[in-house]
């Protein structure tokens, strides 16, 4: 008899991502919740060209962390779920090595398939 592993619903993935973010466990969220072939897009970065693959997303996040002197605060809203998508608002107060202290507010949009995040997009103005 085969044992089937239940995949998380979009709501469960959304709740877990928010929990990770509120605990400051951003890299753990990627490791646990992102699909191996995830597409990550930031319209403000590289002309909106998507980064593809979990390892590339981890690299992109490591590059971001390397540009930061200090994260003063980070807040994320409860998720809003619609079908296979969910979104959250995130507010950050960050001091960057090159740009100094910046307050940023963004909308994060995610697509879930088979219990994993397969796409993310981040909309913000700096």
Confidence of residue 62 (pLDDT cuts 50, 70, 90): very high
Cβ within 8 Å of residue 125, ≥6 positions away: 44
Q: pLDDT, tens digit, for every residue of 14-38? A: 999 999 999 989 999 999 999 999 9
Residue 75: enclosing H or E segment and its boundaries?
strand 68-76
Task: Give the domain ranges of the chain.
Answer: 10-124
In order of 66, 67, 98, the CA distances from 109 in angstroms are: 24, 23, 27
Confidence of residue 47 (pLDDT cuts 50, 70, 90): confident
Q: Which CATH architecture has domain 10-124?
A: Roll (3.10)
Average pLDDT of every residue of the chain: 92
Q: pLDDT, tens digit, for every residue of 70-96? A: 999 999 999 999 999 999 999 999 999
């Amino acid at each position: 008899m085969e044992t089937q592993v239940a995949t998380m619903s979009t709501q469960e993935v959304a709740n877990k991502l928010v929990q990770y973010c509120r605990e400051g466990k951003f890299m753990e969220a990627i490791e646990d919740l992102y699909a191996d072939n995830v597409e990550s897009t930031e319209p403000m970065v590289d002309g909106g060209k998507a980064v593809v693959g979990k390892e590339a997303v981890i690299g992109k996040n490591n590059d971001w962390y390397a540009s930061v002197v200090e994260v003063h605060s980070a807040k994320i809203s409860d998720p809003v779920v619609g079908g296979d998508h969910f979104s959250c608002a995130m507010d950050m107060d960050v001091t960057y090595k090159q740009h100094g202290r910046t307050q940023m507010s963004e909308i994060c949009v995610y697509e879930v398939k088979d219990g994993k995040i397969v796409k993310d997009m981040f909309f913000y103005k700096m």
